[in-house]
């Protein structure tokens, strides 16, 4: 996911594809010096996206929904309980491509959906 998020800082679609292949810290460092925040413009497939737009939020929702199909991700998320926090994230949407609340809110929403699905499967199999 970090590769995808950092790729949004690059206008060039080929560079985006490359950054999407990076993981964790390597991805973070690749996007570190991009000054996207000056214009508040991010990019997907060569198309500009306003950081403050619903289109951007929809893109994040779609990305996290896709991630939720990964079995390892699902298992890890379902082992969590209670409130999820992100201690090093930022809160101001103008300073980060994913705020603490955008990140944790999506994880909580996906976790609740997965729990509901699991309960349905348990009832169906009972």
pLDDT by residue (tens digit) across 57-113? 999 999 999 999 999 999 999 999 888 888 888 899 999 999 999 999 999 999 999
Determine the number of helices (DSSP H) and then strands (DSSP E) in the chain: 6, 2
pLDDT recorded at residue 88: 82
Q: Shortest CA distance to 4 belongs to which of 55, 33, 42?
A: 42
């Amino acid at each position: 996911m970090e590769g995808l998020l950092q790729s949004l800082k690059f206008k060039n679609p080929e560079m985006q594809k490359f950054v999407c292949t990076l993981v964790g810290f390597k991805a973070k460092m690749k996007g570190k010096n991009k000054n996207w925040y000056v214009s508040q413009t991010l990019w997907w497939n060569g198309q500009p996206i306003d950081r403050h737009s619903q289109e951007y939020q929809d893109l994040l929702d779609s990305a996290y929904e896709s991630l939720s199909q990964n079995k390892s991700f699902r298992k890890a998320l379902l082992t969590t309980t209670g409130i999820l926090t992100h201690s090093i994230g930022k809160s101001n949407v103008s300073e980060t491509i994913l705020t603490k609340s955008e990140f944790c809110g999506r994880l909580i929403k996906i976790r609740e959906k997965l729990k509901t699905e699991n309960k349905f499967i348990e009832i169906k199999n009972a």
